[in-house]
């Protein structure tokens, strides 16, 4: 039983085109089926315009992040995956610390993968939504450019809005 589909797979294997994505950060290479890689609009445009060589160099994205991106693309290239399966798989991919998520969202943006950009943005939003503003500043490295008076005014507005409610 198990050997039949195996044979089939082998038989069709030569026709399956693959692409090699190479992280220019740590030179890690990933061999992926073309239809998986084509979920990236950026790569698709390269392939369509015949600009893609055997190895596609991907600058600014580390191997670790590229692996996540490819995992996402593989999941979403699988036509038999149910919506539920995909949701679970997506949740697994973005179950990372905020710094990894920032790298991931940059990669999704660079490679132009809309779905990944969305789930990663949502995850970042979810991870900061309950944090005090000081923590948000620190995590993102945002400089506080308020004058003390300005900050007090914004804080007063916030406190007035929420004080005294259970």
Partner 1 sequence: MSGTKAAQSEYNEVSLGETCKRQRMTSICYEENLRLIPRLPDEISIQIFARLPRVCYLNMRLVARNWKAVMMNPELFNLRKELGMTEEWLYLLTKFEDDKLFWLALDPRSKIWQRLPPIPNVVYEEESRKGVYGLLMRNMVGQSNNLTNIIMGWLWRKHALGQLPFGGCAIGTADGCLYVLGGFSKASAMRCVWRYDPIANVWSEVTPMTTGRAYCKTSILNNKLYVVGGVSRAHGGLAPLQSAEVFDPCTGTWSQVPSMTFSKAQVLPAAFLADMLNPIATGMTSYKGRLYVPQSLYSWPFFVDVGGEIYDPETNSWDEMPIGMGEGWPTKQAGTKLSVVVDGELYALDPSSSPNSGKIKVYDEKEDAWKVAIEKVPITDFFGADVCNNMDSFTSSSSESMEESAAVVWKVIAETNLGHAELVSCQVLNI
C-beta closer to partner 1: residue 2 or 161 = 161
CB of 106 to partner 1, least distance (A): 7
CA 146 from centre of chain: 32
Q: What is the dihedral of CA 54, 18, 92, 126, to 10 degrees?
A: 50
CB of 113 to partner 1, least distance (A): 12
CB of 75 to partner 1, least distance (A): 21
Helices H / strands E in the chain, number of each: 9, 3
- Residue 96 in tokens: 């990372």
CB of 118 to partner 1, least distance (A): 8
d(CA 121, CA 127) in angstroms, rounded, equals 10
C-beta closer to partner 1: residue 4 or 163 = 163
Residues near partner 1 (CB under 8 A) are 24, 41-42, 45-46, 49, 51, 56-60, 102, 105-106, 109-110, 112, 117-118, 121-122, 124-126, 128-130, 132-133, 136-137, 140-146, 150-151, 153-158, 160-166
- Residue 45 in tokens: 């445009």
d(CA 107, CA 39) in angstroms, rounded, equals 13
C-beta closer to partner 1: residue 15 or 130 = 130
- Residue 52, phi-psi category: left (phi > 0), alpha (psi -120 to 50), beta (remainder): beta
- Residue 9, phi-psi category: left (phi > 0), alpha (psi -120 to 50), beta (remainder): alpha
C-beta closer to partner 1: residue 83 or 163 = 163
C-beta closer to partner 1: residue 78 or 122 = 122
């Amino acid at each position: 039983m198990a050997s039949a589909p195996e044979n089939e797979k082998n038989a069709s294997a030569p026709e399956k085109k693959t692409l090699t994505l190479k992280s220019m950060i740590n030179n890690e290479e990933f061999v992926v089926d073309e239809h998986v890689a084509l979920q990236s609009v950026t790569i698709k445009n390269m392939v369509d315009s015949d600009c893609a060589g055997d190895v596609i160099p991907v600058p600014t994205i580390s191997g670790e992040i590229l692996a996540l991106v490819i995992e996402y693309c593989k999941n979403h290239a699988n036509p038999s995956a149910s919506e539920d399966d995909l949701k679970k798989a997506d949740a697994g991919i973005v179950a990372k610390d905020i710094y990894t998520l920032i790298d991931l969202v940059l990669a999704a943006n660079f490679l132009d993968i809309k779905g990944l950009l969305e789930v990663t943005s949502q995850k970042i939003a979810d991870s900061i939504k309950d944090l005090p503003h000081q923590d948000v500043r620190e995590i993102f490295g945002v400089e506080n450019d308020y004058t003390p008076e300005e900050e007090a005014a914004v804080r007063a507005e916030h406190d007035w809005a929420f004080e005294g409610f259970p």
